[in-house]
Structure 1
């Protein structure tokens, strides 16, 4: 136990002052102005255009797997090669689709979301 008083920064340090290694102080009005901008609306729209359909598609895919596993045992137990059946392949497809969705989102974010978000942040903090 170090006996540090509550609220003290780790190692006794104080929070950085604005302009000295930390972000500039941004007022709530400035945040609202950025939030109301067309550029922010486009950023939000671009995120939603990717995230919502992809989430819905994956949930349908996952639910289909669960339902097939529960109610279509004959279909899922169809042998493919040796002891490998269709159910195992579809289950492995769940993992593969998770990795593919993650890759696609990172690619989308790097190309479409991050540049706009970085520009908005720089403008808001006065770095631009």
Structure 2
């Protein structure tokens, strides 16, 4: 079909079938899913230890600072670290590829 006569939806479906789009989707999932699984495992470990290992979590490390407090603060550190990693990866790896695919969609020229 001629790109000038295709609707935006038809062009999107054509772009969606390209190898570049599939690769972009695989890269995204390959980065995001493991990072999400790691964070959820870390979070649930913290919650489960808080509930079932209270003696361990209340172990004093120094002064009134215990393991539970350090792990809780570690949740914040992890969240910021993951956000930084994600943002840098998106800017460096994902966005340039997505922009190129988006331009194909606008131009009506899927490969």
TM range (shorter): 0.7 to 0.9
- RMSD, aligned CA: 1.7
The residue aligned with 2:35 is 54
Q: Distance in 1 between matches of 2:16 and 2:71?
A: 42
More helix per residue: 1 or 2?
2
Higher radius of gyration, 1 or 2:
1
TM-score (structure 1 length as normaliser): 0.76
Aligned residues: 104
Unaligned stretches of 5+ in structure 2? 1-5
The one of 9, 12, 29 equivalent to 2:10 is 29
The residue aligned with 1:43 is 24
The residue aligned with 2:3 is none
Residues 1-128 of structure 1: pairs in structure 2 closer than 5 A: 26-126=7-107
Q: State the 4+ residue runs in structure 1 displaced beyond 3 angstroms.
A: none
Q: Which has the higher contact order (CA 8 A, sep 6+)?
A: 2
Shift of 1:127: 9.5
Unaligned stretches of 5+ in structure 1? 1-24
